Amino acid sequence: MNDVDSVADVVAMACLLLGAFLCLTAGVGLLRFRDVLSRMHAGTKPQAVGVLLIMTGAAIRLTGSSVTWMLLLVAFFQLLTAPVSAHLVSRIAYRRRHVRRDRLLVDELAGTRPPAPPEGGAPGGP
């Protein structure tokens, strides 16, 4: 084993451990935070960075072009879907009034009209 392999192993191990730690903190944040927006933030930000670090550590350690392309696709779709899903969850939570609006610093949706009640639903319902 030469010095280049040992340095690559240490860097890969550091990326894997830091990524796993960030994913763990995302899970703990989902359990500990009380607000929907806080949980959404805790579930997307450290988890996305943690998965990217895990993919980086795996790409350093594993060899082969097919493995590298697969890891790049996983990282790309992670970066593509995490912000979109967080945005949709926050909009739904806001519209269903699960967000404490007094704690918002900026409320960009305050002027929008509420969604129409569902068909066949009781008038004046949530």
Does 69 reside within a domain?
yes
User: What does pLDDT average to over the chain?
Assistant: 83
Q: Give the model's pLDDT for residue 123.
A: 55
What are the pLDDT digits (tens) for 66-75? 888 899 999 9
Does 108 reside within a domain?
no
Q: Give the model's pLDDT for residue 65.
A: 79
User: Looking at residues 18-30, what average pLDDT do you find?
Assistant: 93
What are the pLDDT digits (tens) for 77-120? 988 888 888 888 888 888 888 787 777 777 777 777 665 556 66
Q: Give the model's pLDDT for residue 120.
A: 60
Does 116 reside within a domain?
no
Distance of CA 8 to the CA centre of its chain: 27
Does 29 reside within a domain?
yes
DSSP letter string, 10-78: HHHHHHHHHHHHHHHHHHHHHHH--SHHHHHHHHHHHHHHHHHHHHHHHHHH---HHHHHHHHHHHHHH
Q: Give the model's pLDDT for residue 20.
A: 95
Number of structural domains the chain divides into: 1
Does 118 reside within a domain?
no
Per-residue burial over 22-38, b if 16 or more Cβ lie within 10 Å, else e, is bbebbeebeeeeeebbe
Higher pLDDT, residue 45 or 2: 45
Kindly tell me if the per-residue pLDDT of 122 is higher than 70.
no
Q: Which domain holds residue 90?
A: 3-99
Does 120 reside within a domain?
no
Does 95 reside within a domain?
yes
The whole-model pTM stands at 0.74
Task: List, in order, residues 6 or more apart from 92 with CB less than 8 Å away.
Answer: none
Does 114 reside within a domain?
no
